[in-house]
Amino acid sequence: MVKAIDDLYVYNKEGSSNLFQEAEEVIPGGVTANIKHFDPHPIFMKKGKGSRLIDVDNEEYIDYSLCYGALITGHGHPEVMKATSRQLMDSGTVIFGTPHELEITMAKKINELYPSMERIRYANSGTEANLLATRLAIAHTHKEKIAKFEGHYHGGLNNLLVSVNPSEANAGPAERPVSVYETDGIAEDERHNTIVLPFNDLDSTEKLLRKHADELAAVFIEPIQGGFIPATHEFIDGLRKLTEELNIVLIFDEVKTGFRVHLGGAQHIYDVKPDITTLGKVLGGGFPVGAIGGKKEIMDKSAANAKGDVFAVGSDSAATTDVVFHSGTYNGHPVVLAAGLETIELLEKDNLIDNLFANTMQLRRRLENLYAKYDIPMKAIGVGSIFNIVFTDEEVNNYRDLWNADMDLRKDIDMELLNLGIHVKPLNRYSMSTMHTLKDIDDTVNAHEKAITNVLGRRRR
């Protein structure tokens, strides 16, 4: 059980509590990725199948985290498991360390679904993909600064871990957001290379882009912020025209939205071609992956050649500066690509993705109706198979609009839901899978109703 003591929920989950204490002795903060942490401690899982997770205390959950959206076909989908096992058995090894045919097969499939990605390279995460995207943009434009939008996340890079979640006190004026760095350890001379833009405000964005046009190599954007707050079509169209006019590379970070809002990503919905796209999560079928693709003239700057081989002893060091360096031992890992290709193939079959979107919409609408019954203002905001629950009756068009939401109630509900067998990290978005059933939806709505009555009852005491 979970109970509230001085506004802090304390679990009676002995196994997770013990493991967390043990982890803290050898792992800083007890977790290997900061996103996995929440108070009083995260839940340690031991098994997953379909839409479900089982923790070390043998409690079962309907999972809406799905490894932060990566598992669109759920945990341990039999066809994905077969594809990875088959790749291992057929190849006789885990990895070749050389080019292999699946790299070409996957690149052709990505290009088919994302025509803007004319040439493609692989990485091991969305963060790595955005690192190469940054380097390519600077090489292409010969400009040094980057712009990003307030509230958007593009990985743990120095010049992008900026104004992801700034406080109202530090964020500055809405039309000219302040660049708020979200981590320690960034050198002072790096703290002036990122311009922060206001999402869904085209007039203010245009003023900032024109002011800094001679400095800006690229604009990074999550076309659907956080996977759930969509840009308006007018905003995306205007941004595309501006970046073309001003010689600024437009980079769509579709790590969250790729395959989850449409097989062809958000760019298909908006009918726009960015200069560079980065992908991750779903693309790996649950394995670590990243992909970078875009215009041939930009991507070819990373093309390896004998003269510019940084690893070749005695090579012409001057020639290496003509090539955008990109490498990685595990780039294009065959097992990862096998899992990703099987995942995409599943999504293309038998209207599977349409059914997934329909089930997601059903859950969203039923939850909104439930909260309305209790006179609690709530919007289930999202696109495709992703949504988030925001306790507000006001419009949500950007990060700052979330300041008007009741986050305390959201956290209380989320913690209560963990006690009732619904798994999503508190305050995080919901991701659906093809393995979620109508019964899962019924059980989830029922759990929300219990959470509402429990939380409201406790608040009245």
Q: What is the mean pLDDT of residues 139-157?
A: 97
pLDDT digits (tens, 9 = 90+) for 176-227: 999 999 999 999 988 999 999 999 999 999 999 999 999 999 999 999 999 9
Q: Residue 137 contacts by C-beta under 8 Å, 6 or more apart in sequence?
A: 146, 217, 218, 249, 251, 275, 276, 298
378 and 414 in contact (C-beta within 8 Å)?
Answer: no
226 and 388 in contact (C-beta within 8 Å)?
Answer: yes
pLDDT digits (tens, 9 = 90+) for 81-99: 999 999 999 999 999 999 9
Q: What is the mean pLDDT of residues 23-49?
A: 94
Q: Which of 181-195, 302-316, 396-410, 423-437 has the weakest average pLDDT?
A: 302-316
Q: Which CATH number fits domain 78-347: 3.30.300.130, 3.40.640.10, 3.40.960.10, 3.90.650.10?
A: 3.40.640.10
Please list the active-site residues: 153, 253, 281
**Residue 320 pLDDT level (bands cut at 50, 70, 90):** low
- What residues does each domain of the chain span? 78-347
CA–centroid distance for 2 within its chain: 29
How far apart are the C-alpha atoms of 370 and 373, rounded to whole Å? Answer: 5
Token output for 350: 């038998």
- Predicted local distance difference test score (pLDDT) of residue 5: 41
How far apart are the C-alpha atoms of 102 and 53, rounded to whole Å? Answer: 31
CA–centroid distance for 150 within its chain: 15
Residue 6: is its pLDDT beyond 60?
Answer: no
Higher-confidence residue of 13 and 302: namely 302
Q: Residue 303 contacts by C-beta under 8 Å, 6 or more apart in sequence?
A: 323
**Residue 317 pLDDT level (bands cut at 50, 70, 90):** low
Q: What is the mean pLDDT of residues 309-330?
A: 77
**Residue 309 pLDDT level (bands cut at 50, 70, 90):** confident
- Predicted local distance difference test score (pLDDT) of residue 373: 97
**Residue 311 pLDDT level (bands cut at 50, 70, 90):** confident
* pTM of the predicted structure, to 2 decimals: 0.95
- Predicted local distance difference test score (pLDDT) of residue 347: 97
